[in-house]
Chain A
Amino acid sequence: MSHKKELIKFQIDGLTVEAEKGQMLLPAALEYGFEIPHLCYHEAVSPYGACRLCLVEVTKRGRTMMTTSCNYPVDAGLDVATNTENVQRARQMILELLLARAPHSEKIRAMARDAGVEETRFRVIEDADDCILCGLCERVCREVVGANALTFVNRGDRREVAPPFGDPIACIACGACVYVCPTDCIKMKEEGDERTIVRWKRTLKMQPCQSCGKPFAPVFQLNWIIERAQLPKDFYALCPVCRKTKKG
């Protein structure tokens, strides 16, 4: 489906900016160099609006409301304010809430400091594992990787992210979740010929390269890709390094 890009003009903090109609506000603002803190947004996946840090005040047809910018489609004539007193106030409280969930996250601590929050007044959640339920891991696993190994579980304050039945049977240990996690709460380790995604308790044997002998990726993952992409069975005989040198 091809449709003409319709560029529209609107204001961010007094500056007139241009963006494609319907594009989300946060990426448009970031492109212009506005600093809007965000944790659950990533350009590779669809916006979700869970962390609530990217709040801005939008005035449209004379009505002002606070909204997350990551999932707000831009329109002509909007007047956006990224750092009003209300925005700051709400953001500070949200950072306090996040600090209580992710006390070890350097990123959140730094964000909090930037917002003028030194510590949280909330009880730090027992055994806090730093997960802020932003859902980036779930989205990247579903939308980008397509493994569908992770899901939100339960609702309300019992919500968590986990594999169904706590059994990571569909996890290919690709590490995409490790990469996107903003609080570093999903760890990956490789020992010998095994790779483990610590948080999901997924350990998979890795395939050794036929040329250099170094294990380079989980066998399960390679077979999964081969099957889905209908590649030749020996497609992944070589590790990426050896494949490059061989080709070159």
Chain B
Amino acid sequence: MPLKSPDELEQLRTKILEERKAQGEKKGIVLCTGTGCRGAGASEVFDAFKKALGKKSAIEFKSTCCHGFCERGPITIVEPLGIFYQGVTPADVPQIIAETVTKGQVIEKLLYRDPATGQTIPTEKAIPFYTKQNRLVFGNNRHLDPTRIEDYMAMGGYKALVKALFHMSPEEVIEEIKRSGLRGRGGGGFPAGRKWESCRKAHGDIKYVICNCDEGDPGAYMDRSLMEGNPHSVLEGMLIGAYAIGSSEGYVYVRNEYPLAVENVGIAIEQATKMGLLGKDILGSGFDFSLVINKGGGAFVAGESSALMASIEGYVAEPRAKHIHMTESGLWERPTNLNNVETWANVPVIIEKGADWYASIGTQGSKGTKIFSLVGKINNTGLIEVPMGMTLREIVYDIGGGIPGGKRFKAVQTGGPSGGCIPESLLDLPVDFDELTKAGSMMGSGGMIVMDESTCMVDVAKYFMHFLKDESCGKCTSCRDGTLRMYEVLDAITKGKGKEGDIEFLEEIGWMTAEASLCALGGSAANPVLSTIRYFRDEYEAHISAKRCPAGVCTELITFTIDPKACIACGKCRKGCPTEAITGEKKVPHKIVQAKCIKCGTCREVCPSDAVKVA
């Protein structure tokens, strides 16, 4: 039965909360089955719990999406004590139920051990990865089964919608968002309130709102985790935005590679529709709003707003000239307001807690928190949410736990293929929209790929140009051929065929690509090249002049040798070598025949005594 008024919504919420209270502090198990944990085997753990628990409901078993600490997945939390278990396998399940759930005993071997102190930490709250975070938007994931709207209700869900619909005019909502200082989390950082305002003021009866979940930056997956883990928060944000703008139709455009996000947002839309939170005359307010899901086709450029709209219309995702703003003429040439997942998810928080409170978090120009995906050469891979303005050093070392294997930090790549690499000298940079741009990178959607001394920065630049020449729509000569040609020059450099003047040539092509291209993909395509030249010029020069790859990555510039002193002549490398390039016999140190070596690295990988050297 659809809810017909705010009162009915509150009655339902009270009922849900009372039912839960009546059951008392229930013993429960929370298992993360987000994509990260699934990859680490959470589905099997899920099955094992289901089987072990059977149908008896004395123990509440909840499967949620991403909690953020993907490095340690699959993650299981035992309630009400909040015992945090990591790296759980199906074999651990009976013990968890028998000891922790039933008797409250902690299983030492499943606890997180702080690498700094060597101490085990029994609860989530005390783990350094979490303590420095401020999880306004992402924190609820841990408490929600995303397929149950009741869970969202119990957390106060759709309260902000009621506040907006019944206690605020659309103009007041826009004013609140403007005052909060919320900037778009999708990349550009455009002030959300101003965008809404111009869309509201645009002429036209039919207006659209769009949620961009075409998260294409490699190494960024916060939108996915929000959409999978807390889809109702995104819907609530869109509802509030649509009310403010004067729109009654919306689209959720989800990346093709995110099937679970499609599934969960689909369930959420269905449930919200059933409850009367989507559809006609929502909660008796007279406001109508409906949502359609579109699945992308696998194209990075579709994340560009005009390309995304072309895609929804059934065309190829080719960006269009935006001399007229999308807020005036967007989807089907009607006023359209597009924001990304994280931006929408911030809206209910702002409406509920107020703009002043929200604006008290963050920096002068960037308010609130930002979710980052901290990945690459970092100990604690995962999703983190921190106030804008936290320094890179705090993020990498305090939350990320530093670089694995005692290696030295080299750079953080932010902003995806549109961004750049930030060097060690800027580790104390407060991370916000403006500071990242000043450093020659950008916020993008929040990917942070950490690189260490064994990452070659020329190779990284080449990687991104390879990515972009593939992902450019191919329309503008400047972008299509600019990225292709930068790739060619970089490829030559990494193969020892670099020439004097190549760096300047790259800068020249990069400038043209940025200046002469239509959309933001081309406009920012040169950033990975220009920023690595800016901060790691010496690495370029080593490749070009000395024909040397200091990081030991570019295969044509390195040689693999076996240190006869370290070699224990076990024969593993000889057997593993795909080209029979290794000679040697028992008790005789092995040797690599350079002419046959394809530098695949197998020998180094299998060597038990670390005898294979790369130079």
> Which residues on A are within 8 Å of B, measured CB to CB?
48-52, 55, 66-68, 71-73, 86, 89-90, 93-94, 97-98, 100-101, 121-123, 132-133, 135, 152, 154-159
Report the Cα distance A166→B476, complex, angstroms. Answer: 23
Minimum Cβ distance to chain A for residue B268 (Å): 32
Among A72, A90, A101, A123, which residue has the most Cβ atoms of chain B within 10 A?
A90
Give the chain B neighbours of A152 by CB distance below 8 A. Answer: 316, 474
From 505 to 556 in chain B, residues with beta carbon under 8 angstroms from any chain A beta carbon are 505, 508-509, 511-512, 515-518
Question: What residue of chain B has the Cβ atom nearest to residue A93's Cβ?
Answer: B512
Among A52, A71, A86, A154, which residue has the most Cβ atoms of chain B within 10 A?
A52
Report the Cα distance A130→B570, complex, angstroms. Answer: 58
Give the chain A neighbours of B508 by CB distance below 8 A. Answer: 93
Report the Cα distance A55→B321, complex, angstroms. Answer: 14
Contact A94 B477 (CB under 8 A): yes
Give the chain B neighbours of A121 by CB distance below 8 A. Answer: 505
Given contacts A66-B516, A89-B512, A121-B505, contact A97 B470 (CB under 8 A): no
**Contact with B474, one of A98, A123, A159 (Cβ below 8 angstroms):** A159
> Which residues on B are within 8 Å of A, measured CB to CB?
299, 301, 316, 321, 323-324, 468-478, 480-485, 488, 505, 508-509, 511-512, 515-518
Give the chain A neighbours of B509 by CB distance below 8 A. Answer: 93
Give the chain B neighbours of A73 by CB distance below 8 A. Answer: 323-324
Report the Cα distance A135→B481, complex, angstroms. Answer: 15
Question: What residue of chain A has the Cβ atom nearest to residue B518's Cβ?
Answer: A49
Report the Cα distance A179→B374, complex, angstroms. Answer: 55
**Contact with B471, one of A98, A122, A133, A155 (Cβ below 8 angstroms):** A155
Question: What residue of chain A has the Cβ atom nearest to residue B321's Cβ?
Answer: A71
**Contact with B469, one of A93, A135, A157 (Cβ below 8 angstroms):** A157
Minimum Cβ distance to chain B for residue A131 (Å): 12
Minimum Cβ distance to chain A for residue B447 (Å): 21
Report the Cα distance A121→B471, complex, angstroms. Answer: 24
Q: Which 9 A-B pairs have the closest CB atoms?
A: A159-B474, A93-B512, A97-B481, A157-B484, A157-B469, A156-B472, A90-B516, A156-B470, A155-B474
Report the Cα distance A19→B323, complex, angstroms. Answer: 17
Report the Cα distance A152→B480, complex, angstroms. Answer: 14
Contact B477 A51 (CB under 8 A): yes
Give the chain B neighbours of A122 by CB distance below 8 A. Answer: 485, 488
Report the Cα distance A177→B364, complex, angstroms. Answer: 56
Give the chain A neighbours of B323 by CB distance below 8 A. Answer: 67, 71-73
Contact A97 B474 (CB under 8 A): no
Show 24 A/B contacts (Cβ-Cβ < 8 Å), sorted by A: A50-B476, A52-B477, A52-B517, A68-B518, A86-B515, A89-B511, A89-B512, A90-B515, A93-B508, A93-B512, A93-B516, A94-B477, A100-B481, A122-B485, A122-B488, A123-B488, A132-B477, A155-B301, A155-B473, A156-B471, A156-B483, A157-B474, A157-B480, A157-B484
**Contact with B480, one of A90, A93, A123, A156 (Cβ below 8 angstroms):** A156
Minimum Cβ distance to chain A for residue B107 (Å): 51
Query: Dominant SS at the B interface?
Result: helix
Minimum Cβ distance to chain A for residue B412 (Å): 27
Question: What residue of chain A has the Cβ atom nearest to residue B474's Cβ?
Answer: A159
Additional A-B contact list (16), CB under 8 Å, known A52-B516, A55-B516, A159-B474: A66-B516, A68-B321, A86-B515, A90-B516, A93-B516, A94-B477, A97-B478, A97-B482, A98-B477, A100-B481, A122-B488, A133-B477, A156-B474, A157-B472, A157-B480, A159-B480
Contact A72 B321 (CB under 8 A): yes
Given contacts A49-B518, A121-B505, A123-B488, contact A90 B299 (CB under 8 A): no
Question: What residue of chain A has the Cβ atom nearest to residue B299's Cβ?
Answer: A155
Minimum Cβ distance to chain B for residue A39 (Å): 9
Give the chain A neighbours of B480 by CB distance below 8 A. Answer: 133, 156-157, 159
Report the Cα distance A244→B511, complex, angstroms. Answer: 57
Report the Cα distance A152→B517, complex, angstroms. Answer: 19
**Contact with B475, one of A50, A93, A158 (Cβ below 8 angstroms):** A50
Report the Cα distance A158→B484, complex, angstroms. Answer: 10
Question: What residue of chain A has the Cβ atom nearest to residue B485's Cβ?
Answer: A122
Question: What residue of chain B has the Cβ atom nearest to residue A48's Cβ?
Answer: B475
Minimum Cβ distance to chain A for residue B141 (Å): 34
Minimum Cβ distance to chain B for residue A90 (Å): 5
Give the chain B neighbours of A51 by CB distance below 8 A. Answer: 477
Minimum Cβ distance to chain A for residue B329 (Å): 11
Give the chain B neighbours of A154 by CB distance below 8 A. Answer: 474
Minimum Cβ distance to chain B for residue A99 (Å): 11
Give the chain A neighbours of B469 by CB distance below 8 A. Answer: 156-157
Give the chain B neighbours of A157 by CB distance below 8 A. Answer: 469-470, 472, 474, 480-481, 483-484
Report the Cα distance A133→B475, complex, angstroms. Answer: 8
Report the Cα distance A98→B73, complex, angstroms. Answer: 51
Give the chain A neighbours of B505 by CB distance below 8 A. Answer: 121
Give the chain A neighbours of B474 by CB distance below 8 A. Answer: 133, 152, 154-159
**Contact with B476, one of A52, A101, A123 (Cβ below 8 angstroms):** A52
Minimum Cβ distance to chain B for residue A23 (Å): 12
**Contact with B512, one of A72, A94, A135, A159 (Cβ below 8 angstroms):** A94
Minimum Cβ distance to chain A for residue B13 (Å): 48
Minimum Cβ distance to chain A for residue B520 (Å): 13
Contact A94 B470 (CB under 8 A): no
Contact A101 B481 (CB under 8 A): yes
Contact A90 B512 (CB under 8 A): yes
Report the Cα distance A98→B516, complex, angstroms. Answer: 14
Minimum Cβ distance to chain A for residue B530 (Å): 15
Question: What residue of chain A has the Cβ atom nearest to residue B472's Cβ?
Answer: A156
Give the chain A neighbours of B324 by CB distance below 8 A. Answer: 73
Report the Cα distance A89→B485, complex, angstroms. Answer: 17
Minimum Cβ distance to chain A for residue B111 (Å): 48
Among A50, A51, A55, A101, which residue has the most Cβ atoms of chain B within 10 A?
A50
Question: What residue of chain A has the Cβ atom nearest to residue B324's Cβ?
Answer: A73
Minimum Cβ distance to chain B for residue A234 (Å): 40
Report the Cα distance A100→B301, complex, angstroms. Answer: 25
Minimum Cβ distance to chain B for residue A14 (Å): 23
Give the chain A neighbours of B516 by CB distance below 8 A. Answer: 52, 55, 66, 90, 93-94
Report the Cα distance A74→B78, complex, angstroms. Answer: 65
Give the chain A neighbours of B478 by CB distance below 8 A. Answer: 52, 90, 93-94, 97
Give the chain A neighbours of B476 by CB distance below 8 A. Answer: 49-50, 52
